[in-house]
Amino acid sequence: MPYKTLTDLKNALEQKSISSRELMTQALTRIETLNPKLNAFISVNAEMAFKAADKADQLRAQKNHAELPPLLGLPIAHKDLFCTDGIKTSCGSKMLDNFIAPYDATVVRKCAEAGLISLGKTNMDEFAMGSSTENSYYGPTRNPWNTDYVPGGSSGGSAAAVAAGLVPVSTGSDTGGSIRQPAALCGITGLKPSYGRISRYGMVAFASSLDQGGPFARSAEDIAWLMNAMAGFDPRDSTSLDVPVPDYTADLEKSIQGLRIGLPKEYFNHSLAPSMQKIIDEALKTLEKLGAQLVEISLPHSDLAISSYYVIAPAECSSNLSRYDGVRFGYRCENPQDLNDLYSRSRGEGFGAEVKRRILIGTYVLSAGYYDAYYLQAQKVRHLIKDDFDQAFRKVDVIAAPSTPTPAFKIGEKAADPVTMYQCDIYTLALNLAGLPGLSMPVGFIEGLPVGLQLMGNYLEESRILNMAHQYQKNTDWHLQHPKDL
Ligand code: GLN
């Protein structure tokens, strides 16, 4: 059972060849065995999961499946930045190590309404800042394909949990690549939806104009099921989009004959290792065989994405994280001398090094003397990047690119050098700046480590990239591979 897709497990439940309780037992046993090695979960809620599973089994016994929630009784895990009523939401930080939210994030609520049962909360870089899950207060998560390597980040726990077969699906958040990059490094499928498609209510904020929740799964088809559960307008999130939600499974079987795939020349240049290029080329050839047409395009401002993002994201984070003051919730230092001491020691002791670095950069670029030179400039560049995509999508239907410049790197390899770490995001950041959807799926291996292909779509065109990914996966089996020696 561990490496079955959500769709397979859904069928098994519907055919009554397995019960939800049995599924939970298997998943929780596997988590118990493998989590000490992988550190994918921060907390596990077995008792609540069993209760929900028994309820699901009862419901299934009473009704036929057309009347039941579509994903009834199936397991999921949530990234530990989605607030969960009564269960700790740490965001990977000492600051929130004692924080128990009094409500569920909309994503959590919607998943539960679709019938999914949460087994626990997954590890992540502190406040979602990082590309390796090494910045967690709870220690690094390990890559299931080779435990000396990082799983990517910041949603590394969620990606590793699916890759290791602990759960069939999980949630993540993507501010600059944190769904697509760990999906690529762990050999699974992950989707960053269009900005506004999924509610951010109850998702701990990092950079509010970039943050977007989304799903991880073993296949594009499973992602479509999760999008059906998660997407939609939420009056509690003022940036959530009030437009109808399509059935994301409806277009999966469409032919991709005649679809035009843009290949940005700025993404396929000397900085991409030949071994990566070869695998990406093969994946593109497969898509071509399925009828897609490859077209060279240009996204001329691509090389400015890192500098623009690493001004805007810290600026927004410095503002969002000002709420952690040691007064209202979260960590509070011992015996504060006065109010200033309370603020500075609570924050000094509660936040880790990367979070402090971002807050410092953010307050600097927003300060009166530097606002125009850095923040305003970065916003102008953001516009140019968005315009590049607008131009490109006049000529093509989907844009393809590598998800990452290299496969997973070793734990510790980049930890001491933040700029090298930031460069891991070179192929993912632009999409967040433009607010567009993007998916990463596995398309090969280099020395036993997975490689991801990224498919980017125009605004709200998730269905189109899911269609293309599904057609690719129907004709290949990279997404069905799993680690052998766990
Ligand atoms: N790696 C990027 C960062 O550290 C993106 C993180 C994310 O998407 N949450 O900011």
Q: Give tens-digit pLDDT for 306-364.
A: 999 999 999 999 999 999 999 988 999 999 999 999 999 999 999 999 999 999 999 99
Reported as a pLDDT band with limits 50, 70 and 90, residue 390 is: very high
Return the residue whose CA atom lies nearest to atom 5 of ligand 1.
176
Is the pTM higher than 0.95? The answer reads yes
Q: Is 154 part of the annotated catalytic residue set?
A: yes
User: Strand, helix or coil at 186?
Assistant: helix
Q: Which atom of ligand 1 is nearest to the CA of 179?
A: 8
DSSP 8-state symbol, 376? I
Give the pLDDT confidence score for residue 329 in this predicted structure.
87
pLDDT in tens, 31-63: 999 999 999 999 999 999 999 999 999 999 999
Angular region, 93: left φ>0, alpha ψ -120 to 50, beta rest: beta
Give the pLDDT confidence score for residue 64 in this predicted structure.
87
Q: Which atom of ligand 1 is nearest to the CA of 131?
A: 1
pLDDT in tens, 399-415: 999 999 999 999 999 99
Q: Is 178 part of the annotated catalytic residue set?
A: yes
Is pLDDT at 183 greater than 90 in this prediction? yes
User: Could you tell me the CATH superfamily of domain 6-261+395-480?
Assistant: Amidase signature (AS) domain (3.90.1300.10)
**Cα 361 to Cα 253: distance, rounded to the nearest angstrom:** 47
CA distances from 321 to 238, 278, 418, 468 (A): 19, 42, 20, 38
How many angstroms separate the alpha carbon of residue 125 from the centre of ligand 1? Answer: 9
Reported as a pLDDT band with limits 50, 70 and 90, residue 271 is: confident
CA distances from 118 to 3, 77, 85, 197, 324 (A): 18, 5, 12, 22, 27
Place of tokens 């726990």: 157
- Which two three-digit tokens encode residue 353? 């090094």
User: Which of 123, 131, 432 gets mutated to test ligand 1 (max ligand atoms within 8 A of its CB)?
Assistant: 131
Q: What are phi and psi of 447, to 5 degrees?
A: 45, 50
CB-CB contact of 331 with 350 (8 Å): yes
Reported as a pLDDT band with limits 50, 70 and 90, residue 374 is: very high
Domain ranges of the chain: 6-261+395-480
**Cα 211 to Cα 132: distance, rounded to the nearest angstrom:** 18
User: Hey, how many other C-beta atoms are within 10 angstroms of the C-beta on 277?
Assistant: 13
Cα(first)–Cα(last) distance of the chain, in Å?
15
Give the pLDDT confidence score for residue 486 in this predicted structure.
86
Is pLDDT at 65 greater than 90 in this prediction? no
How many angstroms separate the alpha carbon of residue 421 from the centre of ligand 1? Answer: 10
Give the pLDDT confidence score for residue 66 in this predicted structure.
87
Adjacent-strand bridge partners of 216? 170, 190
Percent of the chain whose pLDDT exceeds 70: 100
Give the pLDDT confidence score for residue 184 in this predicted structure.
98
Is pLDDT at 1 greater than 80 in this prediction? no
Mean pLDDT of 99-122: 98
* Residues contacting ligand 1 via CB (< 6 Å): 128-131, 154, 173-178, 206, 313, 425
**Cα 432 to Cα 34: distance, rounded to the nearest angstrom:** 33
Mean pLDDT of 453-482: 98
- Which two three-digit tokens encode residue 385? 């990047």
Q: Which atom of ligand 1 is nearest to the CA of 178?
A: 8
